[in-house]
Structure 1
Amino acid sequence: MTTTKRTITRPAADVPSAPPRWAVRTAHIIPLLTLPSGLWRLWLAGGHRGGYTEAGYEAMGIDGWGTVYVIGLSVAVEAAALLTLGLVRPWGERVPEWIPVLGGRRVAVRAAVVPAAAGAVALTVLWSPFVLWWTVPHHGMTDTGNLVAGLLYLPLVAWGPLLGAVTLSYHRRRRAERP
């Protein structure tokens, strides 16, 4: 039994332009920015104090459902960071064929740009205060733990602005495709 692969011919105006090299690199760097803090949280969920004093660790309540929350948070943050790749990959321009009902359809520019831009703004607002991490006392942490945690979370400050730059690149590139 032989199967034939269906080929779709598209008009020249429908063929997406390639994203700039800097945008591709940036989109691949973003998940690496979230990895250090995520691994640290997983270490905490595994029962390690991770720079907290014994009393500080116990006060955080990382046991039972707290462990599930910390693991879920780490996975969700990394998954959100990986979504940035959709702004530079074909699946961010056309829904993959294997997805029921929507497979093969073009992704509307607004459907990608609006959530990505809103996410960039939200992440910038959320993580920018971490630049001042060392100016605020963190009760329940050792001095070394405070330093390490600050260094592990500091890369997240760049997440919002970099996502904003990749989103702008996606918007400009996709807008230029319109006839």
Structure 2
Amino acid sequence: MLTMSALPNVPRWAVLAAHAVPLVTLPSGLWRIAVVAGVPLLPQAVQDWGEGLYIVMLSVVAECLALLTLGLVRPWGEVVPRWIPLIGGRGVRPGAAVVPALLGAAGLTVLCAWSFYAQFAGLGDGLDGSALQDAVLVVCYVPLLAWPPLLVAVTLAYRGRRTTA
């Protein structure tokens, strides 16, 4: 049986939503890494190492940011782990977690809305691969649409729990 440890006063739905966030970002990151590795997912391969490094780092940073959502349901979201220099063992102020999380969710929402609009408004290159390549791209990127609402839900649960206690 799968067990997900969290603080005892965290609603189960919030724990599930927090654990879902890194999973919804994973397909797009794996797609980007596959492109850099030379898997024929695009009509043309990544040409220079700088572009490849950027794409891989984008995937790593996105996944790390997604993993931070777990802090909203785990003890390290309320007390800084002791191994962190200078601030280890101190309490996390609710605003220090809520404000960046909500700003991140707002930024993700704007990015998703812009990407959707740009695709249908004919801005940029659009999808230019084969039908299979385009289908794989869409299947890998559609889960990202769940990131902002999941993050908002978990953040509001964290805020409610931390500000009423």
Same fold (TM over 0.5): yes
2:30 is the alignment partner of 1:39: yes
Q: Distance in 2 between matches of 1:89 and 1:139?
A: 40
Give the conservation status (yes or no) of the 8 Å contact 1:117–1:164.
yes
The corresponding residue for 2:4 is none
2:90 is the alignment partner of 1:105: yes
Q: Work out which of the two has the higher radius of gyration on C-alpha atoms and give 1 or 2.
A: 1
Runs of 5+ consecutive residues of structure 2 not aligned to the other structure: 1-6
2:147 is the alignment partner of 1:156: no
The amino acid of 2:154's aligned partner reads V
Q: Distance in 2 between matches of 1:148 and 1:103?
A: 43
Q: Distance in 2 between matches of 1:138 and 1:112?
A: 36
Q: Distance in 2 between matches of 1:154 and 1:132?
A: 14
Q: Distance in 1 between matches of 2:127 and 2:31?
A: 18
Deviations 1:130-167 (A, max 9, x none): 56798567353112211210111001011001100100
2:62 aligned to 64, 67, 77, which one? 77
Give the conservation status (yes or no) of the 8 Å contact 2:32–2:55.
yes
The corresponding residue for 2:155 is 167
Runs of 4+ in structure 1 over 6 Å off: none
- Normalised to the residue count of structure 1, the TM-score between the two structures is 0.80
Q: Distance in 2 between matches of 1:17 and 1:176?
A: 15
Give the conservation status (yes or no) of the 8 Å contact 2:128–2:134.
no
Q: Distance in 2 between matches of 1:121 and 1:141?
A: 30
Deviations 1:46-68 (A, max 9, x none): 02221x22xxx25xx44211111
The amino acid of 1:172's aligned partner reads G
The amino acid of 1:86's aligned partner reads G
Deviations 1:33-52 (A, max 9, x none): 010110010001102221x2
How much has 1:17 moved relative to structure 2? Answer: 6.0
Q: CA RMSD in A?
A: 2.0
The corresponding residue for 1:5 is none
Give the conservation status (yes or no) of the 8 Å contact 2:127–2:134.
no
Q: Distance in 2 between matches of 1:139 and 1:80?
A: 27
Runs of 5+ consecutive residues of structure 1 not aligned to the other structure: 1-15
Deviations 1:59-113 (A, max 9, x none): xx44211111111011011001000000000000000111121111100111000
Give the conservation status (yes or no) of the 8 Å contact 1:45–1:63.
no
The corresponding residue for 1:11 is none
